[in-house]
């Protein structure tokens, strides 16, 4: 005997972003006066509100807009403590550098599993309240085999999208022996971590890892079945973006300092350019030029990059507003990048869209259209969130 799951219709949606051009208008597949039917944890039906089929439950959206739940493809949530003093100093003129990561490494190593679990849970819940229903989580504040594997295990309790970032910076114990640290990351640390992760990431930057080291680490990860993603060209021009494309990375993240050759590589390749404007906001830096990337034909994703150093925000609506105001994106492009773009960056087809068969992840906005996410910055517009078919 099969037990039918209860179905729910959300009706009277003023504007629905489906991200499925076959269902509606333009690249966002917009449907006006729409309804969505959820069956268990999946979207079962999408169409005009007056045509919605009979269901067990009904929710009247009252003329509000609905979008796919945000897909956050880049976060560093397994950490303890914060870096308020560093932020204060930066706002008094001190520049951001990779060195501050060491402060969080010390605090994270000293924290219990319970504290780290509670922290991740708190930040995931905070993001969820702002409409995020998929989140990637990286390690990178352990930097020993034990502490990195511990971070990945904790991340895996909160998401399927777990990234091994043992190559965040050279661990303090290896300050005089960076080659020894690369050997550790590609040897015993990878052995301990590969079973717990889907992705491998490297911070390819001055003060972190150069192009050759990054290539060695990402290649070792690929040999263990991990898929690369790269922190690339954040603080300076460098080899990160081209390496990401060459190795078939799912995404090159930050993309702040790009040459024409970097742009061409992203436009020609499969690698998504993931832009993280919270980092430029919180470090008073120049924003990446999304317009240049989009006009060249690159695929762009957006993420808050939530971490205690460069960007302590979990808010995708904030990033959508920054992307529109500061990076030359239209509201439609920014909303696509925060939903379908994130799904592309995680190579997921079941999230980032509201169409039949997709996971039932939706956010309802206290506004008549998704454009208000950029038009009304700082206003908590997300008024209801469904995750895997459940109202949370
Ligand atoms: O994505 N760039 C490297 N990692 C983080 C910052 C980490 C930190 O400062 O703690 C980022 O910006
Ligand atoms: Fe990051």
SS (H, E, C) the chain: CCCCCCEEEEEEEEEECCCCCCCCECCCCEEEEEEEEEECCEEEEEEEHHHCCCCCEEEECCCCEEEECEEECCCCCCCCCCCHHHHHHHHCCCCCCHHHHHHHHHHHHHCCHHHHHHHHHHHHHHHHHCCEEEECEECCCCCCHHHHHHHHHHHHCCCCCEEEEEECCCCHHHCCCHHHHHHHHHHHHHHHHHHHCCEEEEEECCCCECHHHHHHHHHHHHHCCCEEEEEECCCCCCCHHHHHHHCCCCEEEECCCCCHHHHHHHHHCCCEEEECHHHHHHCCCCCCCHHHHHHHCCCEEECCCCECCCECCCCHHHHHHHHHHHCCCCHHHHHHHHHHHHHHHCCCCCCCCCCCCCECCEEEECCCCCCHHHHCCCCCCEEEEEECCEEC
Instruction: Given the cut 0.85, state whether the ipTM is greater than it.
Output: yes
| Atom from ligand 1 closest to the CA of residue 279 | 12
75 is in an annotated binding site: no
What's the pLDDT tens digit per position in 193-210? 999 999 999 999 999 999
Q: How confident is the model at residue 5 (pLDDT cuts 50, 70, 90)?
A: confident
For the segment 341-360, the average pLDDT, to the nearest whole number, is 98
The pair of three-digit structure tokens given for residue 156, joined into one six-digit string:
């895996």
What pLDDT is attached to residue 42?
98
Contacts for 110 with CB less than 8 Å, ≥ 6 apart: 80
209 lines ligand 1 (CB under 6 A): no
For the segment 315-325, the average pLDDT, to the nearest whole number, is 98
What pLDDT is attached to residue 1?
44
Q: Which residue's CA is minimally distant from atom 5 of ligand 1?
A: 310
Calpha distance 113→68 (Å, rounded): 33
What pLDDT is attached to residue 97?
86
For the segment 23-40, the average pLDDT, to the nearest whole number, is 98
| Beta-carbon neighbours within 5 Å of ion ligand 2 | 305
For the segment 301-311, the average pLDDT, to the nearest whole number, is 98
Instruction: Using a cut of 0.90, tell me whether the model's pTM lies above it.
Output: yes
The residue assigned the tokens 């350019």 is: 273
Give domain 7-69+353-391's CATH number out of 3.30.750.24, 3.40.50.300, 1.10.357.10, 2.30.40.10.
Answer: 2.30.40.10
Distance 226 CA to ligand 1 centre (A): 21
Q: Which residue's CA is minimally distant from atom 7 of ligand 1?
A: 309
What's the pLDDT tens digit per position in 129-143? 999 999 999 999 999
- Give the ligand at the shortest distance from the Cα of 312: 1
Contacts for 373 with CB less than 8 Å, ≥ 6 apart: 317, 320, 321, 331, 334, 335, 365, 367, 381
What's the pLDDT tens digit per position in 77-108? 999 999 999 999 999 999 988 889 999 999 99
CATH topology of domain 71-345: TIM Barrel (3.20.20)
| Atom from ligand 1 closest to the CA of residue 96 | 9
Determine contact, residues 310/283, Cβ cutoff 8 Å: yes
What pLDDT is attached to residue 98?
83
Calpha distance 282→277 (Å, rounded): 9
| Domain spans in the chain, listed from the N-terminal domain onward | 7-69+353-391, 71-345
Distance 257 CA to ligand 1 centre (A): 16
What's the pLDDT tens digit per position in 240-298? 999 999 999 999 999 999 999 999 999 999 999 999 999 999 999 999 999 999 999 99
101 lines ligand 1 (CB under 6 A): yes
Q: Which residue's CA is minimally distant from atom 11 of ligand 1?
A: 310
231 is in an annotated binding site: yes
The residue assigned the tokens 């511990």 is: 150
Distance 2 CA to ligand 2 centre (A): 45
387 is in an annotated binding site: no
Determine contact, residues 195/226, Cβ cutoff 8 Å: no
Q: Which residue's CA is minimally distant from atom 9 of ligand 1?
A: 309
Query: Is the pLDDT at 391 greater than 70, yes or no?
Result: yes
Average pLDDT of the chain, as a whole number: 97
119, 310, 311: residue to mutate for ligand 1 pocket, most atoms within 8 A of CB: 310
Q: How confident is the model at residue 3 (pLDDT cuts 50, 70, 90)?
A: low
83, 97, 203: residue to mutate for ligand 1 pocket, most atoms within 8 A of CB: 203
């Amino acid at each position: 005997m099969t037990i039918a799951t209860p179905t729910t219709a959300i009706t009277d949606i003023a504007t629905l972003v489906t991200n499925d051009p076959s269902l509606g208008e333009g690249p966002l597949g917009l449907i006006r006066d729409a309804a969505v039917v959820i069956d268990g944890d999946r979207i079962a039906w999408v169409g005009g509100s007056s045509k919605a089929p009979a269901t067990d439950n009904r929710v009247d959206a009252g003329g509000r807009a609905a979008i796919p739940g945000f897909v956050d493809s880049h976060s560093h949530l397994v950490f303890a403590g914060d870096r308020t003093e560093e932020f204060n100093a930066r706002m008094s003129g001190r520049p951001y550098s990779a060195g501050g990561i060491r402060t969080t490494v010390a605090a994270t190593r000293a924290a219990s599993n319970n504290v780290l679990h509670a922290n991740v849970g708190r930040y995931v819940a905070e993001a969820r309240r702002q409409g995020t229903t998929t989140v990637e989580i990286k390690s990178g504040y352990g930097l020993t085999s034990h502490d990195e594997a511990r971070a990945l295990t904790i991340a895996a309790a909160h998401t399927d999208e777990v990234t091994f970032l043992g190559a965040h910076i050279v661990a303090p114990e290896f300050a005089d022996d960076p080659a020894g640290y690369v050997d550790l990351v590609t040897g015993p640390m990878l052995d301990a971590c590969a079973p717990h992760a889907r992705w491998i990431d490297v911070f390819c930057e001055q003060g972190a890892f150069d192009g050759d080291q990054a290539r060695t680490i990402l290649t070792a990860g690929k040999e263990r079945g991990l898929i690369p993603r790269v922190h690339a060209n954040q603080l300076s021009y460098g080899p990160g973006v081209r390496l990401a494309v060459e190795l078939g990375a799912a995404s090159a993240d930050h993309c702040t300092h790009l040459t024409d050759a970097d742009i061409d590589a992203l436009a020609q390749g499969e690698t998504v350019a993931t832009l993280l404007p919270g980092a430029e906001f919180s470090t008073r830096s120049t924003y990446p030029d999304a317009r240049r990337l989009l006009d060249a034909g690159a695929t762009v994703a957006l993420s808050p990059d939530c971490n205690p150093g460069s960007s302590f925000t979990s808010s995708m609506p904030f990033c959508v507003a920054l992307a529109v105001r500061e990076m030359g994106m239209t509201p439609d492009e920014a909303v696509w990048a925060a939903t379908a773009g994130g799904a592309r960056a995680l190579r997921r087809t079941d999230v980032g869209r509201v169409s039949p068969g997709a996971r039932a992840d939706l956010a309802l906005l206290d506004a008549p259209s998704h454009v208000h996410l950029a038009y009304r910055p700082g206003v908590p517009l997300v008024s209801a969130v469904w995750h895997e078919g459940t109202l949370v």
